[in-house]
Amino acid sequence: MSHSEFKGGDAASGQAAGLRRLRAPKPVQVIAVTSGKGGVGKTSVSVNLAVSMAQAGKRVMLLDGDLGLANVDVMLGLQPTYNLSHVIAGQCTLDDTIIEGPSGVMVVPASSGKRNMAELSGAEHIGLVRAFSELQRPLDTLIVDTAAGIADSVITFSQASQQVVVVVTSDPQSLTDAYALIKVLNRDHGIYRVHVLANQVHAPREANEIFENLRRVAERFLDVTLSSIGFVPHDDWLKRAVRRQRAVVDAYPAAPSAIAFRELAATAMNWGAPLGARGNLEFFVERLIGTGALPAGVSA
Ligand SMILES: Nc1ncnc2c1ncn2[C@@H]1O[C@H](COP(=O)(O)OP(=O)(O)OP(=O)(O)O)[C@@H](O)[C@H]1O
Ligand SMILES: [Mg+2]
């Protein structure tokens, strides 16, 4: 096909659009894992969901979005050279920070305890989301482990993801704080659908009670739909895996929590890829609207 075929006329612009579609990278499924209260298990869920999906053959990236206290790399025993603070400081690219975790998961580490990272401006959070658009790596899923609560970074990263998973436990404070977070995401930031995952659960009935309590209040007072995506049992094997700096699905694949994480991964893989851009800030938005570059020398 010669270059001149692309010049002028409806047919030519149609061909160019078709070519763009052909060359557009596949949309990336983006899942934010968040919570109202800290310490409920976001990082455990993010890490094990990522590794389970990778074990199932997906190409997975895991972003440590907890900019204050980095812990994805600690939980996986990784020693990153670069992290997001170097990207913000212009000392390296986002791609330079990526290190390989278990089953080939691509980990984007945050900084460890650097005060300035916890105090990034809104513009810098947005800059980070946009920086993902520069990545050339083939990818099926991005999992974002956020900080807890209603911090700016949590809001920006959740809004920029297609799926938001809120992790809760039976601790009443965890439920109250989850409601407060969902309220802000819904009322002020246009998020109408939230997945709820009960963690550290001692019996299936407890998981159901946690979900129903949250759903009753949220659906009564907010314009949001909550869906339960199951639960992860309280599991000492998970604690043991954390101490060994391994993912439980990797270190103890037969443990009750590992079985739950694989089921969760299967559920999430069924959500599929997003159908299109929503018109606000989004991770990998170019891969959603299909503006893949034309071959060199060709202009649309
Ligand atoms: N299903 C579980 N069973 C047993 N212990 C668990 C489970 N989930 C999490 N934990 C324990 O809780 C600790 C905190 O979990 P994790 O670091 O994943 O929480 P977090 O929400 O990411 O915390 P932070 O808000 O500080 O980032 C883990 O180190 C682990 O010991
Ligand atoms: Mg964490």
pLDDT at position 226 is: 97
pLDDT value for 109: 95
pLDDT of residue 149: 92
Q: Closest residue (by CA) to atom 12 of ligand 1?
A: 41
Closest C-alpha residue for ligand 1 atom 31: 239
pLDDT of residue 30: 96
- Choose the residue to mutate in 33, 37, 43, 262 for probing ligand 1, maximizing ligand atoms within 8 Å of C-beta: 43
pLDDT of residue 12: 60
Residues of the chain with pLDDT under 50: 1-9, 291-300
CA distance 122 to 156: 8
Who lines ligand 1 at CB under 6 A?
35, 38-44, 66, 71, 148, 199-200, 232, 234-235, 238-239, 242, 257
> Which CATH number is associated with domain 33-290?
3.40.50.300
Separation of CA 296 and ligand 2 centre (Å): 43
Q: How far is the CA of 10 from the centre of ligand 2 (A)?
A: 52
User: Where along the chain do its domains lie?
Assistant: 33-290
Residue 26, both tokens = 């596949």
pTM attached to this predicted model: 0.89
Task: Specify whether the backbone of 57 is left (phi greater than 0), alpha (psi in -120 to 50) or beta.
Answer: left
pLDDT at 26: 82
pLDDT of residue 115: 56
